[in-house]
Structure 1
Amino acid sequence: MATERFTLDPGTRALLRDLGISLARVLRRAHLPAGVFAHGPVTMTAEEYYRFWAALDDEAADPDLAVRIGRALSVEVFNPPIFAALCSADLRTAAERIAAFKPLIGPVGLDVTAGRAGLTIAVHWPDGPPPPPLLTGAELAFWAALARIGTRHEVHPTRVTMRRPPRPTPATSAYFGTPISEGAADTVTFSTEDAARPFLTEDEALWTFFAPELRRRLSELEASATTTDRVRAALHELLPAGRSSINAVAAQLLTSPRTLQRQLRTEGTSYQAVLGDTREKLARRYLADRSLPTSQVAYLLAYDDTNSFYRAFRRWTGTTPEAARTGQQLTSA
């Protein structure tokens, strides 16, 4: 966890001022340098980033702070990847774009799943200690804020889950439009109608301007990632499209299958091992959402049929998907 980095955007200063919270006091509580914002974007280890959010929570001493942050968010405090996502046609497209460029913001993974239950966005944190509850709550509140800024409509999620939900308050329930329930992952779900509601901020020309620079920055970041990390990231994108072969991943990473296998062997693994591990972790996430039938989970993992998924899941866990759901033998990854 210590090797991963989060970026604390300079817009945080404006956000805290709008909230009436002293940045200097928060930094002191977090044992961070007073001049940390003096030279633009701030890069922190995950441990430092978590300390900042825990200190912010302590300084505010407000159980509704995550909601206040959601209501205070504006275009002025968004960083480039999120500002660019507002150029999208709708929330689903914006979520997919943010998921692709989320590594530029921090080592937080996003899974975007569109199904019969609507659009579900799941947040996944680095291995190690869990994030402060305020950080998780603010991340989920962000999606409601983004939907409202883009559509100029009071969009409410249909479901919000947290692994460690806060004590319910009237303000939180009013903001989300639904209580936060305990779940296997930190997720927010929007109806199919709201996910497709047009963004009035849509500007494809501006997105075309932003996208090349974002891709360049992402490529620079990925260049420092391990081959295993890059393969896993590619699979997250390719599996829902029904593509699981090493040829498809190699093409995505602009290399050859032979070179890819050689690089993975150097890291002590293989393509099949990474594929299996990625599928297992995604299966557990998808199955935690009971609105997704097993057949759709198999489809999202690029299995040819449900029986193939059943055999693989039994090999991983020793049980069936239905038994795992019934026994709550699922964890988010």
Structure 2
Amino acid sequence: MAGERFDLEPSIRALLRDLGISTARVLRRAALPADLFTRRPIELAVPEYYRFWDALDAEGRAASPDRDLAVTIGNAISAELFSPPIFAAFCSPDLSTAAQRLAAYKPLIGPVRLDIDTADDLTITYEWPTGQAPPALLATTELVFWVALARIATREHIGPARVAMPSLPANRIPLENYLGSRVRKGTGDPVTFTAADAARPFLTQNDQMWRVFAPGLRRRLTDLQASATVAERVHAALVETLPAGDPSITAVTNQLATSARTLQRQLSQEGTSYQAILASTRENLARHYLASGNLRTSEIAFLLGYNDTNSFYRAFKSWTGTTPDAIRATTA
């Protein structure tokens, strides 16, 4: 991820009102400031962003236990409710172009990357931050969004050809009825549209508005990338490279397109080092994995780039003064 904070658009309050959900209750449940929506810009770190969506899910269930909230959000989506990047998608000539534009600017509005494949059909795959599973409502709403966008912009009842989710809802019927497609188990939350549907003309196409939005979006993206410290960029790169089993500085410098000498100099200027960031990133991820309770210690060691479990045990003891098993017991 280019940065560590993401915009929460003020217009989401209108969506909450349409859903019959109290904004104040969502913020209180998410342990976020009561005056959050009076701030400009409204920026949340990944844990805060996830807490907001978890709280929205909980308040939505409390307000109406029988409804499928992601489907309800899909039916409530309209162009004026969302941010400039999403409104710019409505200005696109078709769904394929909209997906590529949103993939470029998604880092402005959420902790996720989009991988767009147009080789045959149009497949949109999500890449969430490693070690932090997104709230179920957020992940499902992201899939629903593409269908809503296609239907609003084309005025056709478009549905995906294929949809997959890592964790299937207990009751898939409302979601599958909305999508018009079966939801299968899979990784990356991919949603696929046929080439014909991806090329259907958007009746909302507006090249003039796109020319208005594009410079500002490019400037905001540049500012986001520039505002991240070198240490933050190294941390973000490590979160992606560690699960591949490579904790080396070379893996990070390849990702950041710089040299090891330059990176070490920049980190020194910020008062830190590559090894210090590697250790803190490993410790934070280890604590997260242990708290989740779903991974064996050997699996955690692998995800942190260790060749064996004993090396992980020794490192963890040096960070915390205790063992992974002891931490796991306190969070069980």
* TM-based fold match above 0.5: yes
Show the counterpart of 1:18.
Answer: 18
Show the counterpart of 1:74.
Answer: 78
Report if the CA contact (8 A) 1:109-1:124 is conserved.
yes
Residue 57 in 1 paired to residue 61 in 2? no
What letter corresponds to residue 59 of structure 1 in structure 2?
E
Show the counterpart of 2:100.
Answer: 96
Shift of 1:261: 7.1
Provide the secondary structure at the position in 2 that maps to 1:126.
coil
Cα separation, 1, equivalents of 2:70 and 2:22: 16
Report if the CA contact (8 A) 2:172-2:183 is conserved.
no
Residue 33 in 1 paired to residue 23 in 2? no
What letter corresponds to residue 44 of structure 1 in structure 2?
L
Shift of 1:57: 1.0
Deviations 1:173-205 (A, max 9, x none): 111111221102111111111100001111112
Provide the secondary structure at the position in 2 that maps to 1:144.
helix
CA separation of 1:152/1:263 partners in 2, compared to 1, >3 Å: closer, same or farther? farther
Cα separation, 1, equivalents of 2:211 and 2:259: 31
Within-5 A mapping of 1:313-332: none
Report if the CA contact (8 A) 1:162-1:186 is conserved.
yes
Show the counterpart of 2:209.
Answer: 206
Show the counterpart of 1:243.
Answer: none
Cα separation, 1, equivalents of 2:81 and 2:49: 18
Cα separation, 2, equivalents of 1:159 and 1:107: 24
Structure-1-length-normalised TM-score: 0.67
Shift of 1:138: 0.6
Cα separation, 2, equivalents of 1:146 and 1:41: 25
Report if the CA contact (8 A) 1:57-1:134 is conserved.
yes
Show the counterpart of 1:135.
Answer: 138
Provide the secondary structure at the position in 2 that maps to 1:49.
helix
What letter corresponds to residue 92 of structure 1 in structure 2?
S
Provide the secondary structure at the position in 2 that maps to 1:110.
strand
Shift of 1:265: 6.3
Residue 168 in 1 paired to residue 171 in 2? yes
Shift of 1:170: 2.6
In structure 1, runs of 5+ residues without a counterpart are 234-249, 270-333
Shift of 1:107: 2.5
Number of matched pairs: 246
What letter corresponds to residue 164 of structure 1 in structure 2?
S
Deviations 1:23-57 (A, max 9, x none): 11111211222111112442111111111111111
Shift of 1:120: 0.6
What letter corresponds to residue 166 of structure 1 in structure 2?
P
Deviations 1:244-294 (A, max 9, x none): xxxxxx9xx9xxx8x76754565799xxxxxxxxxxxxxxxxxxxxxxxxx
CA separation of 1:260/1:225 partners in 2, compared to 1, >3 Å: closer, same or farther? farther
Show the counterpart of 2:127.
Answer: 124
What letter corresponds to residue 212 of structure 1 in structure 2?
P
Report if the CA contact (8 A) 1:11-1:77 is conserved.
yes
Report if the CA contact (8 A) 1:173-1:179 is conserved.
yes
Cα separation, 2, equivalents of 1:42 and 1:128: 25
Residue 194 in 1 paired to residue 229 in 2? no
Provide the secondary structure at the position in 1 that maps to 2:203.
coil
Shift of 1:149: 1.5
Greater radius of gyration (CA): 2
Cα separation, 2, equivalents of 1:263 and 1:98: 32
Report if the CA contact (8 A) 1:7-1:44 is conserved.
yes
Provide the secondary structure at the position in 1 that maps to 2:117.
strand
In structure 2, runs of 5+ residues without a counterpart are 238-253, 268-272, 275-332
CA separation of 1:30/1:80 partners in 2, compared to 1, >3 Å: closer, same or farther? same
CA RMSD of aligned residues (A): 2.9
Cα separation, 2, equivalents of 1:58 and 1:96: 32
Provide the secondary structure at the position in 1 that maps to 2:50.
helix
Show the counterpart of 2:277.
Answer: none
Provide the secondary structure at the position in 2 that maps to 1:160.
strand
CA separation of 1:93/1:261 partners in 2, compared to 1, >3 Å: closer, same or farther? farther
Provide the secondary structure at the position in 2 that maps to 1:123.
strand
Report if the CA contact (8 A) 1:168-1:180 is conserved.
no
What letter corresponds to residue 71 of structure 1 in structure 2?
N
Query: What percentage of residue pairs aligned between the two structures are identical?
Result: 55
Show the counterpart of 1:281.
Answer: none
Within-5 A mapping of 1:171-186: 171-186=174-189
Cα separation, 2, equivalents of 1:56 and 1:20: 11
